[in-house]
Amino acid sequence: MKRFLLAVALTLSLFKASADEGMWLPMLLGEQVYNDMVKRGLKLSKEQLYSINKSSLKDAILIFGGGCTGEVVSDQGLIFTNHHCGYAAIAGASTVEHNYLRDGFYAYSKDAEIKSQITVQFLDRIVDVTKEVEDGVKGLSWDDRVKKLPEVFKAITDKVFDKDNGLAGRVYSMFKGNQYIMYVYKTYRDVRLVGAPPESVGKFGGDTDNWEWPRHTGDFSIFRVYGTKDGKPADFSMENVPLKPKHFLPVSIKGFKDGDYAMIYGYPGGTNRYETSYGIKLKNEIENPSLVALRDMRLKYMYAQMIKDPAVKLKLASSYAGIANYWKFYDGETKQLLKFHTQEQKEAYENQFTAWAKGKPEYENIMADYAKNYATWTPYSKMRQYLNEGVMGSPLAAFAASLISLDDKLAKPSTSSAEIKKALDAATANRKAFIEGEDLTSDEKIMGTVAMMYYNDIDKNQHPIGFYESMKGTYGSLKDENTFKNWAKDVFAKTMLLDDVKWAAFLKEPSAAGLEEDPAFAYANAFIKNYTIKYSPIYSAFVNKNAELGRAYMKGIMEMNPAAVKKMYPDANFSMRVSYGNVKSYNPRDAVHYDYVCTSKGILEKYIPGDYEFDLPTKQIELLKKRDFGQYIDKTKNDLVVTFITTNDITGGNSGSPVMDANGNLIGLAFDGNYEALSHKIAFDKDLNRTICVDVRYVLWCIDKLGGASNIIKELKLVK
């Protein structure tokens, strides 16, 4: 997605949004931004975009689960989102006999809809609470301010909390703590699976096509939100009824052309557009390469087992998809940041800032302090990545680490028997869930390889004391790969965490000594405590200082160039945002042109029968070859349009976001970005940024023609 606009002279407009850049707060668009939207083609009023007292577009947009966006598309609470957002719910409803992940699923009546653990949150209102927050921390030092803020936030959100109506507030820091906005949400807990295409459609192209254009993925799933008869949130009950939403999106099958207006609402998860050159250097040189290498290893071992056994594939599918998604992202991010010389551009801007700040005590030492802060933490950064992405990348080690709190309770004589029983019951329940998702073969290889990589790649002074010495004494040379393999094999063979009989014996006579002797727990505990005792305080101080400097730097940027403030937007933080742009083709490199849509012709060209990534249902291939497109055909292309691209500014969390035309009609679902602009979390590229969207006409075709669920189509308000 896009770089900040940099003039050759590196003017002070570096942090001013340009072109299609910007994730805007819907209640604070400002006249300049709204007028830009109108110039680009928007036909709606400000009140139709966001209103407290009347229904508006914001009322159709929801947080889906814990990290995606969804939209209501009918007056009966029907929700569209991405397939990968509903993936866990689809997998959870599947069995080997009824494999909805593999075969797809559609409920042909509401009675057939499947209960899920998903919750959805609707935005009720947005309130600027900056004054209340600042009054609550007035006069405090930075450290005391950080400690006090949660208490201040709670006092603010307590005023709007309403359990009966599912209302709760959440305070978001904007512009690195220079502004605070409270979003008030209403949470619904009864959300049911209505439909999903086969995984071969929903993930067509797999890892090969991930973050790539052209793309032919039918990335959608369908759910319905239920509540009580008076519209209140409630736990799952057959007495509940479909929600009557304040607003729902009409669905357009009219089509569009290159250059047409496109608008996206949603919940972008996180950007760091105001990152310093120091942060980019650390990311490029240490953090991203470490993460990519460790995830690459984990994926290799998981994939080897998944292709052998459908049951293992089903078991690991959701975890594998999440690991793979950001493995490729962070690899591409580093490449784009280096390609566009983002670090050097930031350095040039920071030099200008330092020159401006000279003689201003509040700002003149900011860059020097940043340099000191990064110099203090950088030597330990790789070790932290290896702990989080490596050691904790083993499901067995991660579960073992979750027992550290139990170990602490068992070790304290003052812990009551009731507390211990509660902790043991929780550990037993978590163990059951862990074992259900565990693949022993891949996990054993991951654990052994990580232990070896940590030993070879991390400064010996940062190793857990005695861990590798003990391994060497029992298993032999630490230069021999077999040493680590044999060690891991023994861990899996001897741990009580995988042995029902041993676990039952432990429950009868629980003790800290018994837990600490377990080889899996001993492994996780050694690395976690090594980090917690020695390095966690250093990291906390680093993060805390960065936050303090970031707030001051952001404030200084605004003072240095006040004219740009009206066109500045806060970093994404999973609060509702709107972005606008156009459907648009692009030229990624010399002599290459990418069209703005992909069609069924491309699906047939990519189709490989029986392939792990490019297989498709036989029925779909037959329908496409017959050109049985029905009312969903694109008349301009004389084909079924599968996906399209826009210039909208989005990021993770926008998955499932509605892509709307100038009148607020749904034309697609956003689901990815393009590889050429994977630096978008840090820098927004005005030429290459594209959002990849599944065309709603392909969604409807899959529901109707492929799935035979005409009942769902009849529920929608189609714009023809």
pLDDT digits (tens, 9 = 90+) for 108-117: 999 999 999 9
CB 305 within 8 A of CB 316: yes
| Domain final residue, candidates 515, 534, 553 | 534
524 lies in the same domain as 628: no
pLDDT band for 325, please (50, 70, 90 cuts).
confident
704 lies in the same domain as 620: yes
Stated pTM of the model: 0.89
How many angstroms from the chain centroid is the CA of residue 60? 21
Residue 604 lies in a domain: yes
pLDDT band for 15, please (50, 70, 90 cuts).
low
Q: Which one from 84, 216, 247, 680 is the annotated catalytic residue?
A: 84
Handedness of CA 93, 97, 100, 105 (dihedral sign): negative
| Domain final residue, candidates 507, 534, 561 | 534
Considering its fold, how many domains does the chain have in total?
A: 2
What's the whole-number mean pLDDT along residues 263-289? 97
Residue 322 lies in a domain: no
Q: Which one from 219, 518, 615, 704 is the annotated catalytic residue?
A: 219
Q: What's the rounded Cα separation, in Å, for the pair 632 and 705? A: 10
Q: Which one from 318, 655, 657, 679 is the annotated catalytic residue?
A: 655
3 state SS of 511? coil
484 lies in the same domain as 590: no
Query: Is 84 tagged catalytic?
Result: yes
Concatenating the DSSP letter of every residue in 448-468 gives HHHHHHHHHHS-GGGSPTTHH
Q: What's the rounded Cα separation, in Å, for the pair 134 and 155? A: 13
pLDDT band for 17, please (50, 70, 90 cuts).
low
Q: At what angle do helices 536-560 and 342-357 cross, to 10 degrees?
A: 70
Residue 691 lies in a domain: yes
pLDDT digits (tens, 9 = 90+) for 19-78: 689 999 998 888 889 999 999 999 999 999 999 889 999 999 999 998 999 999 999 999
Q: What is the pLDDT of residue 12?
A: 35
Q: What's the rounded Cα separation, in Å, for the pair 200 and 500? A: 37
Q: What does the mean pLDDT of the chain come to? A: 95
Concatenating the DSSP letter of every residue in 612-654 gives TTT---HHHHHHHHHT--GGG-BTTTTB-EEEEEE-----TT-
508 lies in the same domain as 649: no
CB 710 within 8 A of CB 701: no
Half-sphere exposure of 714 (CA within 13 A, CB side): 6
Q: What is the pLDDT of residue 487?
A: 98
- The residue with tokens 């849509």 is 597
514 lies in the same domain as 615: no
480 lies in the same domain as 602: no
| Domain final residue, candidates 486, 507, 534 | 534
What's the whole-number mean pLDDT along residues 385-410? 97
- What tokens were used for 534? 């020695």
Q: What's the rounded Cα separation, in Å, for the pair 156 and 176? A: 19
629 lies in the same domain as 699: yes
- What tokens were used for 540? 């906390």
Query: Is 687 tagged catalytic?
Result: no
* Segment holding 587, helix H or strand E: strand 586-589
Q: Residue 38 sits in a domain of what CATH number?
A: 2.40.10.120
pLDDT digits (tens, 9 = 90+) for 412-466: 999 999 999 999 999 999 999 999 999 999 999 999 999 999 999 999 999 999 9
Query: Is 219 tagged catalytic?
Result: yes
Q: How far is CA 279 from CA 146, 295, 309, 342, 346, in A?
A: 21, 21, 42, 11, 10
Say if residue 571 is exposed, middle or buried (CB neighbours under 10 Å; 0-12, 13-18, 19+): buried
Q: What's the rounded Cα separation, in Å, for the pair 274 and 296? A: 29
- What tokens were used for 583? 């459907």
> Cis peptide leading into 310, omega within 30 of 0?
no
What's the whole-number mean pLDDT along residues 239-266? 98
pLDDT at 5 over 50: no
Residue 693 lies in a domain: yes
What's the whole-number mean pLDDT along residues 128-154? 97
87 lies in the same domain as 228: yes
- The residue with tokens 């994926």 is 299
576 lies in the same domain as 526: no
Range of the domain at 626: 26-119+189-272+571-719
607 lies in the same domain as 462: no
pLDDT at 227 over 60: yes
Q: What's the rounded Cα separation, in Å, for the pair 173 and 412? A: 39
Q: What's the rounded Cα separation, in Å, for the pair 197 and 365? A: 56
